[in-house]
Each structure stands twice: as C-alpha cells, then as structure tokens.
Structure 1
C-alpha cells in the first residue's frame, strides 16, 4: 500500500481577496485603489458573474504574483490624512502577511504597498 500526498493549491484570486480584506480593514486605510488594471478586472469579473451566476470576493487594488522567491502581494491604497504613511504601510504589510497565512496556508515572501492618495479632511 502506498500513501500519496495531496497538494492543495489556493488560486490567486482567493489569495487576492484575503489580502484585500486585510488591507482594507487596517487602521488608517481609507480604501483600496484599483487602478486601470483593477477597473479592467472589475469589468471581467462582472461579466463572469453574470455568466456563471456567482459573486466573487472583491480584490480590487491587490495583485498576486508567484515568483521563484515565493508569493508577492502588491496593494495600492489610499490612507487617511494625518496618519503616518510609513506606519500605515507597515501595518498593511503585517496584516496581509498574517491574513494570507492564516486563511490560505500560503507564506508570503514580500508585500509591496503603494500609497496612491491621501484622503483629505472634509470641511
């Protein structure tokens, strides 16, 4: 009798959705910024949703890349005015790394955070 070993693969859109949720819920983050690529993905996702009658988790503003070094997560965010950009960026990195490992079992090699905008105070 041979004992086989099962391999579990978590798809990039699932990892992106987990990372997006973690980033969006980090204190100081106002929203994720989808950018041009994210807007295109939104249209594709909307079409797929209509075709398959599913509702995939949002992952706009987050990109996943599998490299030889490991999993690389990139997040584009807008932060609140008055917050320390470096501290918020570091917190986003930690939250994404922890959430992806906890929810998918995937170890993140690197998290790149790009602060696209700072949301000003409303008058």
Structure 2
C-alpha cells in the first residue's frame, strides 16, 4: 500500500506576484505545521510556543514559570529575581517562581538569610578582603 503524496505547486515564474510566491512557499509546508506553531493567517504572525522543538525558545527552568528563557537559561523576571536573591543558580531553580512583590515566602526567606550572611561576613574583622 502506498501513501498519497501531494506535490507542491509549480515554482512561480520570475515575474510572479507576491501572493503567487507566498502560495508556492505555503504549498511546501505541511498544513498541520501552521497550527502547531501558532500561525495567525489574518495578522500574519507566527507565535511559536515555548518549548517547540524546532522554533520555540527553551522554557525557563524555574518551577511554575511559563516564560521563555533568555540569557543564562532564565527568563528576564527570574533572572532579575535570581540576581537579587544571591542564591546559587542550582538552588534558585529549585524554588517555585514568585511574582515580584507578592508572596514568595520561601524565596524571600532565602533572600533574607543570604542578606544576613553577607552582613555577618562584612562585620567579620578576620575576613580577608
């Protein structure tokens, strides 16, 4: 048994319109791909979901964060929270995401503990600087 194969449209001629060229390019792409990658034909916008294996950005590794990661593997919000927390990255990514200024008792406690440790180190007269 053989599967039916749909051949793409013939390539557009050199004087083809933009719409003809776009139609040819669309014919080369599997129809399900557009839905999979969040294509909005009316607005002509592609919104690849986070984590899509081909087009999506990697997801932020912080639990309960659904934003795409940027530099250093964290999203911008988690990157800012990580910098402010003073925690090692390996510990920070184990804590669930908090909304800045709201909740986050575990992260805020870790931040307070870290600030206290830094303050103690700064007061230690035997510490080499």
Q: Under a length normalisation based on structure 1, what TM-score does the superposition of the two structures give?
A: 0.23
Query: Rg: which structure is higher?
Result: 2
Q: TM-score, normalised by structure 2?
A: 0.22
Higher RCO by CA contacts (8 Å cutoff, separation 6 or greater): 1
Please state which structure has a larger fraction of its residues in strand.
Answer: 1
